[in-house]
Structure 1
Amino acid sequence: MKFKIDTKEKIVVFCPEEAVLDANLAEELTAAVAALPELEERNLILDMTLVQKMDATGVEAILTVYQRMYDNNLSCAITGLNNTLTATLKSAGGDMLNLAPTMAEAIDLVMMEELERELLDGLE
């Protein structure tokens, strides 16, 4: 799988450079994201701008990556989805997913969650 990574101070932007996220690439996606050393202590934004289609295994891979981030007390947002993929992910993940129409909104979402965690940790 070809992908591009942009590492910022508290965020890693992961952009698959594939038009179709199917069974052939789903496992590669989860493995590639899990193996990123840049993700330690950083939130994730999945930039799906180049992905035009995905099957059920592709959806499952995105949900797995998403849940893995929250299991590690980090945030995740998904941006760049076309209307069809937005509807597909909303039906699969419900309102629990951070779906953002723009990169700026995705960054805002994960940074707000980061701030919430910091504030809650300070209260304990």
Structure 2
Amino acid sequence: MKYTVDKKEQYVVFTPMEEKLDSALSPKLKSELLTVHAEGYNNLIIDMSQVKYADSSGLSALLVGNREFSRNGGIFIIAAPQEHVMKLIKISMLDKVFNIVDTLEEAAEAIFIHEIDGTEEEEEED
């Protein structure tokens, strides 16, 4: 599986450089997402702008990422999904589960807001 990883201070941008996220690639995607999480990053943006097609196993890999990154108060954001992928997400009713935005800029903003909200909650608990 070809992909790029761009590590920022607050988050990682993971970009699959594949046209299809199917059963052939989804195990690799799952393991790469888990690896990034294991490196200590809590927030991940997956840039789906290159992906033209996903099947149920591709969505399953995204769900694993979403669960892992959300587990410890982090956030998992799908950025720039193409039309076919977005249709599948909606048909599966996962648009209610995933954080989905149109651009990487919106995703970065969402992480910034998420981090601020998390900091405020911690202060309230003290």
Q: Please report the TM-score for the alignment, with normalisation by the length of structure 1.
A: 0.92
Of the structure 1 ranges 5-14 and 86-95, higher mean CA displacement relative to structure 2 is found in 86-95
- Check if 1:96 corresponds to 2:90: no
Q: Measure how far apart 1:38 and its partner are.
A: 7.8
Q: Measure how far apart 1:54 and its partner are.
A: 0.7
Q: Deviations over 1:88-112 (max 9, x none)?
A: 2234313231100011111111221
Give unmatched runs, 5+ long, in structure 2: none
Partner of 2:46: 46
Runs of 4+ residues deviating >3 angstroms: none
Give unmatched runs, 5+ long, in structure 1: none
Q: Please report the TM-score for the alignment, with normalisation by the length of structure 2.
A: 0.90
Q: Structure 1: how far apart are the matches of 2:77 and 2:68?
A: 12
Give the aligned CA root-mean-square deviation in angstroms. Answer: 1.6
Partner of 2:12: 12
Q: Is the 8 A contact 1:75 1:114 kept in 2?
A: no
Q: Structure 1: how far apart are the matches of 2:99 and 2:37?
A: 23
Percentage identity across aligned positions? 27
Partner of 2:87: 87
Q: Measure how far apart 1:82 and its partner are.
A: 0.9
User: Is the partner of 1:23 in helix, strand or coil?
Assistant: coil
Q: Structure 2: how far apart are the matches of 1:48 and 1:86?
A: 10
